[in-house]
Chain A
């Protein structure tokens, strides 16, 4: 079942009076349970694509359907509700709320959803345990390493049981060990919980773990490949 369907997506903006086409007619689908990497050089359009998939930005034309709902027709406030209930975000710089502890950061999104205190505490502890931070649940971000912060961010992204998780360069600020650890957790969640992950990256370690690699160049999909994880073997080109 497809959780994401994109049709003829175009994003144009003006940079110093010069029209720029950041996304140039992209169409793709993502099925539930995929572990997909969007790769490409800087300025290729992968972050713009992720922003529009996540409802953070609106396209100039084209449609994005998430579980049959066309999110390009939503108002700004409706998009916020949509993001809260359907999409988990993992950012490059972790972006945890500094005044909140790990458990509060994870539980915040559940609170926004109106989940009861007991239930959200339980879910937050579960998720932090799943990412190996059961002994750091009351630590503030400032007292956690980069890798630990990113694991809290993953737990936060999963808290609302989203349709999929969007991760923008999730390992860019992590060392090898923390990257390996994070990827293991994400893969485990993908396999065991069936969580769909879509991430932009140019980290080869991440690309090696992906089961589908979409290469974006100049705002267009250059290649879209199903691969065997950890070997980067091409299975079948889709485009």
Chain B
């Protein structure tokens, strides 16, 4: 999907009608729109967002509060009683669907009344058109069409402000990564289908009431568990929502503290951030060691129980060897063969019940051990390492426990340092700061409580599911006994099979997508980052926490510079785009804004490669574009310059360098 052109009419500083054609050439897939700060780059990104989604998400605080969408000079010069409107039109083509044409149009109007007061329309108007055959038809389900091209939840990974990218991994990062992965891969769709199919199964089951006391009894149990399951799910949803709210309130408070005019407050907040990042790292490491201890117990535990038997077997084998019973002088099979043949090797007849036969039979008893001799010897070599393994086990466990206690010690130290930071913040003689800190601490306590509650609910849901599976099998067995319920039983079977399959697919997709995004992010990050000897890998764990590991094996996301975090975010977004399957265009405002001069080049060189199949539009300042123009030139299809004329409150779009 490519944007052919963006038309702006009286939209913010774009006075009159301005048309910007974007490059639709696959080999030169980049369009660069260059302009000084304030010339209208971010507002062109806003125009795209506003047109398609009805919201301008990249407005500065000033614009959001003061400036109307309609060009202010046009509004000023509007004659009394007249109307004017701002309009943004986006024309797109879908190359993968025979160049099918789409057009989206959003406008908003205003009128100057007799007193000279401007009255704005309450809502904007939106129209979408699609090519069907040779005709262009207006689309009724506009939201559905937009969702097909680029759903609202995913758009921030396609249209974004490069300067704000480093914030992506600062706060609530695991929640953001999780949301991004779920959004781009339509995993919510699978969740909703599973939830609805489960409810349908439950209502079908209700149809078979009264068949037999046993069926009724199982039904009652299922109903009770389902009721509990539903309320647990609902409770979990509510708690998750509350948790999200609390986290965003905490983020807001912390950013207020960080932006505070008192330098001591700013310093304390920065200190807290770095302490909390270290605390998170320690807790992660403690978790990993605990897992290792459990794994060791599971592996060695059964061997510990067997140890007396193992020791006894080794003693017995050694004793037999001492007595000379192993290895045996003569093989059991050989003596047995002589007896069966009835003739000794010396020629003596052994058929009759004579002395020779008696001797051979005695020899056979002694040689019996030879049959399993090889296994006994082998066993000795298996048993001895087991004994050593058990001896080593307690040593290893002690080392691991010691590691935990030293980490716990450090954790407690950090916790008391955090407490100290909080006490100092509360003690600052500014009422607002004290109140913010008190509220923050209350919110943190609530957050901890909610995390615990959600964990308990998860366990409760898992147990209920297990019980339901068991009862469903019992019910199916009962229903199978009655011909009357053949169809109902079949329906339940089909639904259960589908539910199981969708559950498996969901889990597989979650794992696959997370792994693919992790591998791609790692690949891109390590190629883009300039400190190649510092960083080793990028990991996205099962809780969607993202970690950057340095060559010494330590987590260092918290210590990345703003530019490095921006590179990590760019890598992650490129990976998400690739995995998402959405063929939407990419628009980046100030992509190299925070990147230092010498590293802009490597990004300019590699980014087009990562985004090679997409139409890319870059809004750049002169400082960003000039150092990389030569490197980008082979991929740039169109170049523009935004020229702002303050006297006319107007931005013109000119070919670059004109």
A and B: interacting chains: no
Instruction: Enumerate chain A interface residues (CB-CB to B < 8 A).
Output: none
Interface residues of chain B, those whose CB is within 8 Å of chain A, are none
